[in-house]
Structure 1
Amino acid sequence: MGLWTRSKGLLSSASAAKLLASVRNVGIIAHVDSGKTTVTERMLFYAGLIRSCGEVHDGDTVMDFLPDEQARGITISSAAISFDWSGASVNLIDTPGHVDFGIEVERSLRVLDGAVVILDGVAGVQPQSLSVWQQAVRHGVPRIVFVNKMDREGASIERSVQSLRDRLGCDPLVMQLLSPLQEGSSSADASFDIIDLVRMERVQYPQYLRTPLSVPSNASPAKEKDIWDNAVHLRTQLIERAANLDSVLADVYLSAEDPVTSVSPESLRSAVRRITISGSGVPLFAGAAYRNIGVQPLLDAVKDYLPSPLDRPPVSARLVPSGKLMKKGSPDPQTNIGMPCSKDGPALGLVFKIVYHEQRGSVAFVRMYSGQIAAGQQVAVFSQQFLPSNALKRTDETSGTSAPPLPVVEHKERAHKVMKIAAQDLLPCESIQAGEFGAIIGLKHARTGDTVYAAVPGPTGNSKMYLPSLLRVPQPVFWAAVECESSAAESVLDSALEALCREDPSLLLQNDAETGQRLLCGMGELHLDIARSRLERDFHVPGLRFGKVHISYRETISASRSLEHSVAELMSRPVRFFIALHPKVAEGAEPADNGHLISKVSVDLISAPTNLPEKLREDVGDIFESAIASSLLRGPLLGYPVVGADVAISNVMLDDNLTNASRDTLEPLIRTAVAERMMKLLRSKDVHPRLLEPVMEVVVVTDNQNLGAVVSDLTGSRRACIKDIGFEGAECGGNDNSQNRVVVADVPLQCLVGYTTTLRSLTSGRASFTMEFSRYAICDRNSEQKVLLAERGFV
């Protein structure tokens, strides 16, 4: 299956391009419980890859193979598999829908050429639908939409289309019409047929029969005439909308006497393909995967409308800087190179996932953009470090601009084995070529977002290239202490935690400097519970102790303070400097977003007085930056990281004996001085330290009868700010009071502990909710005092 099994010999350029043109690298993305895994399972069944369809509720699906996935009935980890469909080689990734595992969607979309967005036909666009859509837009991934669960009461294509318009700003191209079953139909499982508006054919289920949709005769039932008239009307609309988006079809449309009959299926299909690949439009399909309706036309759509690797723009690579720049900063932006998808170029691939295997060790999942990597080949792995969204930023006053990005680090590795991916199975192959997904065994240092590279003779010579990491790692908002019973098992625990964090970049491991505890930070209680389960089951950590899950707070300042520090004599080498601390947000103000969390350090070594020689300024600036970053890791209230504080360093003076000192001599002096001054500043009441708490956007779906109880509970002790109350699908034009109601609110995370049980009790199990991190906000004084007392052990 997949491109890698097509040929064991050498292919001509034309043959290789023809094979690449048939490849579809596609992902399934959606809100949780929209039916992603069910759709995927049917795809594999109809493609002939499996003999029977597994079900999520039975825990026997191919793609949800992890024990936790089977036990909980949700997708936790993205899974890849390859199959053939109607002459196309489809490499498919099924992604999670739960918000705790959003990093899986992020890193999958980074390497996909196209995506299938699945909507619930009743609920329409849901919170995580919006999130994954925005991720796909950011990565420039062309999309098609599949409205699932159309067999459910209340499902509607029209409302789903309106939901896409109102919530996503997308006016989709409706490609199908759902038709009630014809009288006398023998289908016991299907509740409707599908009218293909491109071919003007009726698609019948469950046999998947295609029959022409013809003009009814006078003897035909009135219902059939209505279906024909509606199909003609919708096809005309489809052609008109497509002609507005595609100039080639516009010429055909304007010259046609009757667009319905004159515009051929081939012309319309080609136009919709161009529209989809350009991102100017999104085709929409519908069905009910659980009842086996609509999956084959969806597979046809993947082949017909989503791009091949050759249809995508050349990936933008950068030349790796050499010498000092390799250690210090970034390459010149002018060195960007567009790399076309070709097996003849240098081997260039992106590691989009790391998986720990008990026998094989770390396995790197790679998308190849150029060239090929064979088993046993030596490669270079380039790691570009990145900071979280609230990280410290440095302004270098020597140039007045932001300091260069973090360095690119090279590791020489060997690809001991290359494999193709089939869900939980890894199958040996000879090489992974451009346009393919594959797995590499033997890359000990590779992390998600790293580049795998191997040069070939050609125009680039021995130049080394890497792919910039565009991965956005979300803020972890929960943490738990992790330890083991015996000191002998600590090495096992440390290795397991390191491997787990390599697998999942949204897990963050920290060490408490005071207690020595290992703190594992994650996106939610479920996220950390899965991590605990894996440490026990997959990594076999003996005597694992997983502490209580805590909320991850932040600390900030709300007033300015400055100090001039003078070390009279420290090893006979005094250092003096002026340090000032300023809040990003003034006291009493409430920031609208997380921009205030980004701290900035400026080191003025030009305009302010200094006796630093030119050769030392760069090193001294680096030392101050690193020392300040370390000082901001522990705040004065509870020891949480300090954010939203700008630090200014100026008037740096060295004793005459130090003007020719080395970096190794200066670093401990500066670090000690900065640590002392920062501690004094942060613990000063003059800076008015405050606690920041994570605020979540909560969406509750409940029946009308329990709406009052839900809202009352949220606005009471949970301190919720209600943003919207409406009917489920109200943005789609629904106004039926019997529908479920939707409550959208911002709620502090500490007020949501145990909310699942409370909501179930309030509504007798007839309500559900989702939550997603929104921002950090300053705690009110009463809540802050309660948190301080509780965290310090007084409650």
Structure 2
Amino acid sequence: MNPRSSRQLRNIGVIAHVDAGKTTTSERILFYTGENHRIGDVHNGNTRMDYDPQERRRGITINSAAITVHWKGVQINLIDTPGHIDFNIEVNRSLRVLDGAVVVFDGVAGVEPQTETNWRLADKYRVPRIAFINKLDRVGADFLRVVGMMEERLGTTVVPLQLPVGTEGDFRGVVDLITLQALVWDRDDASQPHRSLPVPPELVELADHHRARLIEAVVEQDEQALNAYLNGEPLEAALLRRCIRRGVLSGAFVPALAGSAFRNRGVEPLLDAVVDFLPAPKDVQRAEGEPASDPEGPFAALAFKVVAEGHGSMVFVRVYRGRLRRGDAVLDASTGRVERVSRLYEVHADDHVEVDELQAGDIAAIVGLKETLTGHTLCDPAHPLHLEEISVPEPVIDVAVEPRTREDAQGLAKALQTLLREDPSLRMRHDAESGQTILSGMGELQLEVSIEKLRSRHGVEVQVGRPQVAYRETLGRAVEVHHVHKKQTGGPGQFAEVWLRFEPLARGEGIRFESRIVGGAIPREFVPAVEAGVRRAAQTGVVAGFPCVDFAVTLVDGGFHERDSSAMAFELAAAAAAREAFAKAEPQVLEPVMAVEVVTPAEHLGDCIGDLHRRRGIVRGQQARGQAVAIDAQVPLKEMFGYIGNLRALSSGRAQYTMQFDHYEVAPQKVTAEVVMHG
């Protein structure tokens, strides 16, 4: 019998704000499940999950890493994701294909900006999750304060399943509220199991109070449990676990566990919670149009990551339905091409184990697909379907890249194409005026890492300009334009006539195209060429050459010639009409505005706020965070270059900040004038 057919499976991700201890938690999971025989340490640069040389050097996660482990007879496919906002696409695409998540919180800092962003992503993809409140051995750590922050800032119901035994440096274990037992780790040595003891006398009252609240919160999930509770009967641990599982799967609440991964405390109970409370593939409520997990149905999978290797690409997939074997043909529903699978791999971080077959629920890698990209649907050619794509954030920062030598010029184009294939949040365009290649991304760190990859992986030396803000342009008012494209050069002529109406849209709406052609004024086959022409013109706006966004265009009317009209003629006509419309529509420059959080000691609060105001920032609020104060502000990206140096000087090196893209808004006249002058 195939052991894979009767397996129990969990597909989970570990997500968190940068520095919450996510990779350390993942490394401890590998140790306790027997996947690693020694513990990897982020500080020593020898972790299994952060295997890229840049990750080890920088001490951060850049690429999401997948690994397969086993705990108590259950197979766990674990993905460790980056915490830094610049690599948020990695979290986004991982959450899209996972069934559950462990969200790691810093026991001192609590809910941080990137945790909020990741939490909203998990909401979007309807991913059930459990919380692991980590670093409870640190000074200022407070388990119940973080639970309160989660409820307040994430708008969720949190049910603590444990309470810490000891605080800060004396943190030595947890009270399990389901069994009312204390689990105590006597030493930091991970090879020593915990001991089960009675609840310490000083915690009995608090434990009874929180157990009563736990029972109250979870019994609504099960009729048998609710009846027993209302009749005053004691509730068995197994019945409570069943209730918790149902509540997690339905999203009614999020259980919270306590620990210190670095000191090897609380990791085994976390693994038990993953197995007990997070869903198996068959338990997941799929989105509309997404197939139920059935190994016997027609094959369907989503490609969520592409890694370019020396001999082609490795495509990471989540299999939603059916089976896939070596040599099978699959339809890439996004390109319409049928491709053949040459090899299949189970992934263990940077090790790949070849397998003969994948089946519903698997997260694995395929070799042999030439044109598949992130977000593409792979399916049985006889049963085509489209799965929900992966949303990609807009880049906000540009950098000009030029080859050092003529030899580098040949390799650069190929290397950039590989980077774009691997990372959909990078964009590339050519600046017609300067002749430079412009690479755009989510932040300075992401671009820095990408440039380093050009050098180290592809052997291409490049000259890099200073990072610049990725401005956009938009329309200030609605306009209508009429354009006739006519060329006669001896042979067949070119003719196309278009009437187009352009209207501004709200921020973030992108470009919308609609045809209202009736009575065959323009043959149907030429309409896509009109849209293509508008979109091509929109890549370079008229104010300072930045892409034009957030407008609707309607093809109202037009004319054609039986012999001289072609798709090319209509594309040229539409592009010329669009450029004319952009110039007439009182175009405006848009600048990216960032959500900024500054955490500073209280004595430097006034200086930090004053500095944010000087940077055209709007302070939206502030709240105490342990001994410090967190300032919540919105600041234009243009004003944030070099901010870290200023902040250190203002706060004697004690303040820190994080920022992420929030929205685009119309730039003030002074900024627009600067952009036009230097654009």
- Give the TM-score band, short-chain normalised: over 0.9
Q: Determine if contact 2:319/2:359 at 8 Å carries over to the other structure.
A: yes
CA contact (8 A) 1:190 1:291 kept: no
Given candidates 747, 760, 775, the residue that maps to 2:635 is 747
Q: 359, 370, 374: which one pairs with 2:325?
A: 374
Q: Give 1:677's match in structure 2, choosing from 565, 577, 597.
A: 577
Per the TM alignment, residue 236 of structure 1 is displaced from its structure 2 partner at its CA by 1.6
CA distance in 2: counterparts of 1:563 and 1:753, whole angstroms? 40
Structure 1 contact 248–271 (Cα < 8 Å) conserved:
no
- In the aligned structure 2, how far is the partner of 1:41 from the partner of 1:566? 65
Match in the other structure for 1:162: 148
| Residues 644, 446 of structure 1: alpha-carbon distance in 2 compared, 3 angstrom cutoff | closer
Alignment of 1:764 onto 2:652:
yes
Change (3 A) 1:689 1:294: same
Aligned to 2:15: 29
Indicate the structure (1 or 2) with the bigger Cα radius of gyration.
1
Asked if structure 2 preserves the Cα contact closer than 8 Å seen for 1:189 and 1:291, the reply is no
2:271 matched residue in structure 1: 299
Counterpart AA for 2:608: V
Counterpart selection for 1:278 from 243, 250, 266: 250
Query: What is the letter of the counterpart of residue 480 of structure 2?
Result: S
Secondary structure, aligned partner of 2:150:
helix
The one-letter amino acid of 2:523's match is: R
Which of the residues 170, 180, 191 maps onto 1:200?
180
Could you list the per-position Cα deviations for residues 663-722 of structure 1 after superposition, in whole angstroms to 9, with x for gaps in the alignment?
xx33233233333333333334xx322211110010000101111211111111x11111
Following superposition, the deviation at residue 487 of structure 1 comes to 3.8
Mapping 1:167-186, distance limit 5 Å: 167-180=153-166
Given that 1:119 and 1:145 are in contact with CA atoms closer than 8 Å, whether structure 2 keeps it comes out as yes
Among residues 382, 389, 411, which one is paired with 2:337 in the alignment?
411
Match of 1:715 in 2: 613
Q: 1:505 aligns with which of 424, 441, 446?
A: 424
1:213 equivalent to 2:213? Answer: no
Of all paired residues, the percent bearing the same amino acid is: 37
Instruction: Give secondary structure in 1 for the equivalent of 2:173.
Output: strand
Does 1:68 pair with 2:40? Answer: no
Whole-Å separation in 2 of the counterparts to 1:88 and 1:204: 25
In 2, Cα distance between equivalents of 1:314 and 1:558: 41
Partner of 1:450: 376
1:786 is aligned with what amino acid?
E
Structure 2 equivalent of residue 692 of structure 1: 590
2:388 match: 468
Q: Segments of 4+ in structure 1 off by > 6 A?
A: none
Equivalent residue for 2:531, pick from 625, 628, 635: 625
CA distance in 1, matches of 2:456, 2:664: 34
One-letter amino acid of the structure 2 residue matched with residue 165 of structure 1: E
Could you say if the C-alpha distance between residues 566 and 88 of structure 1 is closer, same or farther in structure 2, counting changes exceeding 3 Å?
closer
Task: Say which of 458, 464, 477 aligns to 1:559.
Answer: 477
* Deviation digits for residues 77-110 of structure 1 (CA, Å, limit 9, x no counterpart): 1001111112211110000010001100010011
Aligned to 1:237: 213
When residues 599 and 433 of structure 1 are mapped into structure 2, their CA distance, relative to the original with a 3 A threshold, is: closer
Q: Would the alpha carbon gap of residues 648 and 60 (structure 1) be closer, same or farther in structure 2, given more than 3 Å must change?
A: same
Change (3 A) 1:427 1:783: same
Question: 2: CA distance between counterparts of 1:602 and 1:126?
Answer: 42
Cα offsets for 1:549-584 (capped at 9, x unmatched)? 211101122234434335677566654443343334
How far off its partner does 1:117 sit? 0.7
Query: How many Å separate the matches in 1 of 2:603 and 2:504?
Result: 47
What is the aligned counterpart of 1:90 among 72, 76, 91? 76
Question: Among residues 641, 664, 670, which one is paired with 2:547 in the alignment?
Answer: 641
Distance 2:83 2:392 in 1: 17
TM-fit CA distance, 1:771: 0.5
Is 2:408 the counterpart of 1:428? no
| Contact 1:178/1:195, CA 8 A, preserved across alignment | yes
Alpha-carbon spacing, 1:170–1:413, altered in 2? closer, same or farther (3 Å):
same
- Tell me the distance in 1 between the aligned counterparts of 2:501 and 2:320: 48
1:579 aligns with 2:486: no
**2:540–2:548: 8 Å Cα contact kept in structure 1?**
yes
Q: If the length of structure 1 is used for normalisation, what is the TM-score?
A: 0.81
CA pair 581-277 structure 1, distance change in 2 beyond 3 A: closer
Secondary structure in 2 aligned to 1:75? coil
Map of 1:11-410 to 2, 5 A cutoff? 16=5, 18-19=6-7, 22-180=8-166, 191-205=171-185, 206=187, 207-213=192-198, 224-257=200-233, 262-313=234-285, 336=289, 339-358=291-310, 360-383=311-334, 409-410=335-336
Contact in 2 for aligned 1:476/1:521 (Cα 8 Å): yes
Instruction: Give deviations 1:605-645, integer Å, cap 9, x for gaps.
Output: 13xxx762xxx532232222111111221111210011233
TM-score, normalising length from structure 2?
A: 0.94
Of structures 1 and 2, the one scoring higher in RCO (CA 8 A, sep 6+) is 1
Q: Is the 8 A contact 1:272 1:305 kept in 2?
A: yes
Q: Could you tell me which of 594, 604, 617 is aligned with 1:706? A: 604
Amino acid at match of 2:279: P
Q: Structure 1 residues 253 and 487 mapped into 2: Cα distance closer, same or farther (>3 Å)?
A: same
Residues 688 and 236 (structure 1 numbering): CA distance in 2 closer, same or farther, change over 3 Å? Answer: same
How far the C-alpha of 1:189 sits from its partner, in A, is: 8.1
Distance 1:293 1:693 in 2: 46
**Structure 1 residue 153, shift from structure 2 partner:** 1.8
What secondary structure sits across from 1:419 in the alignment? strand
Structure 1 letter corresponding to 2:388: P
How many angstroms does 1:726 deviate by?
2.2
Q: 1:486 offset after TM fit, Å?
A: 3.7
Q: How many residues align?
A: 671
Q: CA deviation at 1:212?
A: 4.7
Amino acid in the other structure paired with 1:37: T
Q: 2:624 aligned with 1:727, yes or no? A: yes
* One-letter code aligned to 1:722: V
Amino acid at match of 2:244: V
What residue ranges of structure 1 are gaps of 5+ in the alignment? 1-8, 182-187, 215-223, 317-335, 384-408, 456-461, 585-590, 730-738
Provide the rounded CA distance (Å) in 2 between the counterparts of 1:159 and 1:761: 31
* 1:604 paired to 2:555: no
Q: In structure 2, do the counterparts of structure 1 residues 424 and 567 end up closer, same or farther at CA, with 3 Å as the change threshold? A: closer
Residue aligned with 1:452, SS: strand
Matches of 1:348 and 1:569 in 2, distance apart? 49
Counterpart CA distance in 1 for 2:575 and 2:68 is: 54
Distance 1:467 1:781 in 2: 44
Shift of 1:315: 6.7
Determine the C-alpha separation between the residues in 1 that align with 2:385 and 2:582: 43
Distance 2:484 2:245 in 1: 69
Q: Specify the code of the residue in structure 1 equivalent to 2:517.
A: L
Tell me if structure 2 keeps the 8 A contact 1:31–1:127: yes
Q: How far apart, in 1, do the equivalents of 2:329 and 2:514 lie?
A: 42
Q: Within 2, Cα distance between the matches of 1:451 and 1:250?
A: 43
Matched-pair contact (CA < 8 Å) for 1:508–1:522: yes
Q: Which sections of structure 2, spanning at least 5 residues, go unmatched?
A: none
Alpha-carbon separation, structure 2, partners of 1:564 and 1:308: 58
DSSP-derived class of the 1:110 partner: helix
**Contact 1:45/1:51 (CA < 8 Å) preserved in 2?**
yes
Kept in 2: contact 1:315–1:340 (CA 8 A): no
Tell me how far 1:754 sits from its aligned partner. Answer: 0.6
Indicate how the Cα distance of structure 1 residues 564 and 349 shifts in structure 2: closer, same or farther if over 3 A, else same.
closer
